[in-house]
Amino acid sequence: MQIVEKSGEGLSRVYGVTVPVADLAARYETRAAEIAPTLNIKGFRPGKVPVAHVKRVYGKSLMAEVVEAAVTEANQKVITDHNLRPAGDPELQPTGDMDAVIDGKADLAYDLSMDLIPDFEPVDLATLELTRPVYAPGEEEVDEALGELAKQNRTFETRTAKTAKAKDGDQVVIDFVGKLDGEVFEGGSAEDTTLVLGSGQFIPGFEEQLVGAKTGADVEVKVKFPDDYQAETLKGKEAVFEVKVKEIKAPVERGVDDELAKQLGLESLEKLREILKTNLEQQFAGASRFKLKRALLDALDAKHDFPLPPKMVEAEFTSIWEQLQQDKDAGSLPPEDEAKSDADLEKEYRKIAERRVRLGLILAEVGRINNVEITAQELDQAMRQEAMRYGAQAQQIFELFRNNPQAQAQLRAPLFEDKVVDLIVEKAKVTDNAVTKEELMKEDEMPEGYAA
């Protein structure tokens, strides 16, 4: 086996690899002899299949297997002998005739190219100074949450007066048939549908046109589907719905009392308040952690400057750019991006791609140095939690994760990142700062110099 470094600029490396045809032939003979005793072929006693017959029947597939094993071995030798840390999977480009290689007539020759993880020393974590915004929910937040629960669990009573008209907040029972250019369209009709007016459950403009209708009324509702509507055939289309109002129900407000708690499966209002307060504390603690993590990432980004693997940056940018184009085609670009040229957008989002790659490398290196690992138990728990989101299919999804290393890797990455962030927070100087609820929940902007 011959390995020659062809290029070594920056973090990019290209190695020429050659495995002589004689070496491949020897491996091929060994492999054929290994599997011959295990084969059961008609016309031969079990374990007595001649090697020559094995080569006649399985020749090309055996050689392909040999070539694959040789490539794997050569790639690992390149990495080990040169003490490399590849940033992503190396790329392989054959430089010879692969058909001739499989036929056993030519050397296996290819170029192996890769980007390397840069050598850098992470900042001393103990020198990081971070501020954690905190907010403790009070009784007013609990009262507000209780009021919302009561509203969600209110009942409705039929308005019996013949002159009663539907009001905002009433629940109506309706039949409707939707038409485009006078033709009924698929999915636009339903019967005995309940709708709370003002809830925003239907497309904009629909509910407002039912306000003032009486029981038994036929109402022609004219609307325009949003440009970003999920059904492609309805985007931006004007439609007419023939609506029959079958019943009008007025809301009956539910009291905030023990009965509400019991309806929700709890023994008392006190217990309900306790659970709501815990949930609110967890919600605000999550927002606080999010803000702290953002400040931590900003600090790490500001304190590190090292060359980035070009292919990693390009892959990250491509992913961002494809999503941007999808948003652009759907008319859902952020307002601040709508007036920008593609050149300006590319410049800004490439900078974001560089930030993401840089932070990923920093967190990975901090984790490596501090021996951060995801245990089998932690991964198993994450797989179960993710599977539970799929309800009746939970067990099927869990088995999919168990048998799919790539799916596991997608779960492992955020787990690793969270553990590294926790490690950094533990070592850094963190000061708690009491803020208002509005300040805590306010969306942060990107650091100066990055796109919003």
For residue 182, the one-letter residue type is G
User: Would 146 be classed as within a structural domain?
Assistant: no
In this structure, the answer to whether residues 98 and 174 fall within a common structural domain is no
Give the DSSP letter of residue 176: E
In this structure, the answer to whether residues 175 and 78 fall within a common structural domain is no
Dihedrals φ, ψ of 305, to 5°? -145, 105
Q: Which of 61, 90, 115 is the last residue of a domain?
A: 115
Q: Which of 252, 270, 298 is the last residue of a domain?
A: 252
Contacts 24+ apart (CB under 8 A), 67-73: 67/24, 67/101, 67/102, 67/108, 69/27, 70/19, 70/23, 70/24, 70/27, 70/108, 71/108, 71/110
Between CA 223 and CA 204 the distance in angstroms is 7
Q: Which helix (H) or strand (E) holds 4?
A: strand 2-7
CB 188 within 8 A of CB 177: yes
**DSSP strand pairing (12-19 vs 2-7):** antiparallel
What are the structure tokens assigned to 58, written together? 């399985």
In this structure, the answer to whether residues 294 and 434 fall within a common structural domain is yes
User: Would 131 be classed as within a structural domain?
Assistant: no
In this structure, the answer to whether residues 228 and 354 fall within a common structural domain is no
Residue 338: CATH number of its domain: 1.10.3120.10
* Residue reference for tokens 């062809």: 6
Residue 168: CATH number of its domain: 3.10.50.40
In this structure, the answer to whether residues 236 and 341 fall within a common structural domain is no
Range of the structural domain that residue 301 is part of: 285-441
Between CA 347 and CA 450 the distance in angstroms is 10
The total number of structural domains in the chain stands at: 3
pTM flag (> 0.75): no
pLDDT averaged over consecutive 10-residue blocks of the chain (452 residues)? 92 96 94 84 76 84 94 96 93 94 94 95 96 93 91 88 91 96 92 94 94 95 89 90 95 86 90 94 95 95 95 94 88 82 92 95 96 95 92 90 91 94 96 94 68 42
In this structure, the answer to whether residues 318 and 425 fall within a common structural domain is yes
In this structure, the answer to whether residues 291 and 400 fall within a common structural domain is yes
**CB contact burial 233-251 (16+ within 10 A = b; e otherwise):** ebeeeebbbebebebbbbe
Residue 66: CATH number of its domain: 3.30.70.1050
In this structure, the answer to whether residues 352 and 397 fall within a common structural domain is yes
Per DSSP, helices labelled H in 94-238 are 98-102, 139-152
**DSSP strand pairing (171-180 vs 155-158):** unpaired
What are the structure tokens assigned to 89, written together? 């999977």
Q: How many CB atoms lie within 10 A of CB 104?
A: 15
User: Would 132 be classed as within a structural domain?
Assistant: no
CB 337 within 8 A of CB 320: no
In this structure, the answer to whether residues 110 and 59 fall within a common structural domain is yes
In this structure, the answer to whether residues 184 and 236 fall within a common structural domain is yes
User: Would 232 be classed as within a structural domain?
Assistant: yes
Strands (E), 181-333: 183-196, 218-224, 238-252
User: Would 426 be classed as within a structural domain?
Assistant: yes
* Residue reference for tokens 């009021």: 147
**DSSP strand pairing (108-115 vs 155-158):** unpaired
Q: What pLDDT digit, counting tens, does each position of 81-121 carry? A: 999 999 988 999 999 899 999 999 999 999 999 999 999 99
In this structure, the answer to whether residues 292 and 413 fall within a common structural domain is yes
User: Would 134 be classed as within a structural domain?
Assistant: no
Q: Which of 233, 252, 271 is the last residue of a domain?
A: 252
pLDDT at 446: 61
User: Would 276 be classed as within a structural domain?
Assistant: no
pLDDT at 451: 45
* Residue reference for tokens 């799919």: 404
What are the structure tokens assigned to 84, written together? 């490399």
pLDDT at 452: 39
Dihedrals φ, ψ of 254, to 5°? -95, 140
User: Would 43 be classed as within a structural domain?
Assistant: yes
Q: What share of the chain is helix, strand, coil (3-state, %, to 5)?
A: 50, 20, 30
In this structure, the answer to whether residues 434 and 292 fall within a common structural domain is yes
